[in-house]
Protein backbone atom coordinates (compact mmCIF):
# COMPACT_ATOMS: atom_id res chain seq x y z
CA UNK A 1 0.00 0.00 0.00
CA UNK A 2 1.38 3.41 -0.94
CA UNK A 3 1.47 6.33 1.42
CA UNK A 4 1.22 10.06 0.88
CA UNK A 5 5.02 10.29 1.10
CA UNK A 6 5.28 8.38 -2.19
CA UNK A 7 3.62 11.32 -3.99
CA UNK A 8 5.53 14.22 -2.44
CA UNK A 9 7.36 16.55 -4.78
CA UNK A 10 11.12 16.90 -4.28
CA UNK A 11 12.53 20.34 -3.51
CA UNK A 12 14.43 21.36 -6.63
CA UNK A 13 16.28 24.08 -4.72
CA UNK A 14 17.59 21.53 -2.24
CA UNK A 15 18.30 18.97 -4.95
CA UNK A 16 20.18 21.36 -7.25
CA UNK A 17 21.80 23.78 -4.79
CA UNK A 18 21.87 21.73 -1.60
CA UNK A 19 20.05 24.46 0.35
CA UNK A 20 16.59 24.39 1.88
CA UNK A 21 14.03 26.74 0.37
CA UNK A 22 11.46 28.72 2.37
CA UNK A 23 8.84 26.05 1.71
CA UNK A 24 10.96 23.02 2.61
CA UNK A 25 9.09 20.85 5.07
CA UNK A 26 5.57 22.03 4.26
CA UNK A 27 4.48 18.81 2.52
CA UNK A 28 5.92 16.64 5.27
CA UNK A 29 4.30 18.87 7.87
CA UNK A 30 0.86 18.41 6.28
CA UNK A 31 1.50 14.67 6.19
CA UNK A 32 2.38 14.74 9.91
CA UNK A 33 -0.85 16.61 10.69
CA UNK A 34 -2.81 13.96 8.80
CA UNK A 35 -1.09 11.36 10.98
CA UNK A 36 -2.05 13.37 14.12
CA UNK A 37 1.57 14.20 14.92
CA UNK A 38 0.90 17.86 15.65
CA UNK A 39 4.07 18.75 17.56
CA UNK A 40 6.34 17.18 14.95
CA UNK A 41 4.39 19.03 12.25
CA UNK A 42 5.14 22.34 13.96
CA UNK A 43 8.85 21.55 14.27
CA UNK A 44 8.97 20.42 10.63
CA UNK A 45 7.42 23.68 9.38
CA UNK A 46 6.56 26.28 12.05
CA UNK A 47 4.22 28.33 9.84
CA UNK A 48 1.89 25.42 9.13
CA UNK A 49 -0.80 26.31 11.66
CA UNK A 50 -0.92 30.01 10.81
CA UNK A 51 -1.08 29.08 7.11
CA UNK A 52 -3.99 26.74 7.79
CA UNK A 53 -5.71 29.48 9.79
CA UNK A 54 -5.19 31.98 6.98
CA UNK A 55 -6.48 29.58 4.33
CA UNK A 56 -9.51 28.77 6.48
CA UNK A 57 -10.22 32.49 6.90
CA UNK A 58 -9.94 33.03 3.14
CA UNK A 59 -12.25 30.07 2.51
CA UNK A 60 -14.87 31.25 5.00
CA UNK A 61 -14.68 34.80 3.64
CA UNK A 62 -15.20 33.46 0.12
CA UNK A 63 -18.60 32.06 1.05
CA UNK A 64 -19.66 34.52 3.76
CA UNK A 65 -18.05 37.94 3.79
CA UNK A 66 -17.39 39.35 7.21
CA UNK A 67 -16.35 42.83 8.15
CA UNK A 68 -12.81 42.34 9.46
CA UNK A 69 -11.75 39.55 7.06
CA UNK A 70 -9.27 41.68 5.11
CA UNK A 71 -7.55 42.86 8.27
CA UNK A 72 -7.31 39.32 9.64
CA UNK A 73 -6.03 37.90 6.35
CA UNK A 74 -3.46 40.70 5.98
CA UNK A 75 -2.28 40.23 9.57
CA UNK A 76 -1.96 36.47 9.12
CA UNK A 77 -0.06 36.99 5.85
CA UNK A 78 2.44 39.27 7.61
CA UNK A 79 2.75 36.81 10.51
CA UNK A 80 3.32 33.93 8.07
CA UNK A 81 5.99 35.88 6.21
CA UNK A 82 7.81 36.65 9.47
CA UNK A 83 7.65 33.01 10.63
CA UNK A 84 8.74 31.61 7.26
CA UNK A 85 11.65 34.04 6.84
CA UNK A 86 12.78 33.59 10.45
CA UNK A 87 12.66 29.82 10.11
CA UNK A 88 14.62 29.99 6.84
CA UNK A 89 17.31 32.18 8.42
CA UNK A 90 17.48 29.89 11.45
CA UNK A 91 17.79 26.70 9.35
CA UNK A 92 20.23 28.19 6.86
CA UNK A 93 22.58 30.21 9.01
CA UNK A 94 22.17 29.20 12.66
CA UNK A 95 22.12 25.41 12.53
Per-residue pLDDT tens for 32-57?
A: 999 999 999 999 999 999 999 999 99
Give the mean pLDDT of the chain: 89
Angle between helices 48-63 and 26-34 (to 10 degrees): 80
Secondary structure (DSSP) of 31-82: HHHHTT-HHHHHHH-TTHHHHHHHHHHHHHHHHS--TTHHHHHHHHHHHHHH
Q: What is the mean pLDDT of residues 11-22?
A: 81
- Please, which residues have CB within 8 angstroms of residue 29's CB and are 6 or more apart in sequence? 41, 42, 44, 45, 48
pLDDT in tens, 69-83: 999 999 999 999 999
Whether the pLDDT of residue 21 is over 80: the answer is: yes
pTM of the predicted model as reported, rounded to 2 decimal places: 0.84
What's the CA gap between 10 and 61, in Å, rounded? Answer: 32
What's the CA gap between 14 and 17, in Å, rounded? Answer: 5
Give the up-direction half-sphere exposure of residue 6: CA atoms within 13 A in the CB hemisphere: 3
Amino acid sequence: MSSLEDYMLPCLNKKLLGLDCMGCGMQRSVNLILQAEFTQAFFMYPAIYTLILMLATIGINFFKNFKSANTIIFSLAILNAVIIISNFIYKTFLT
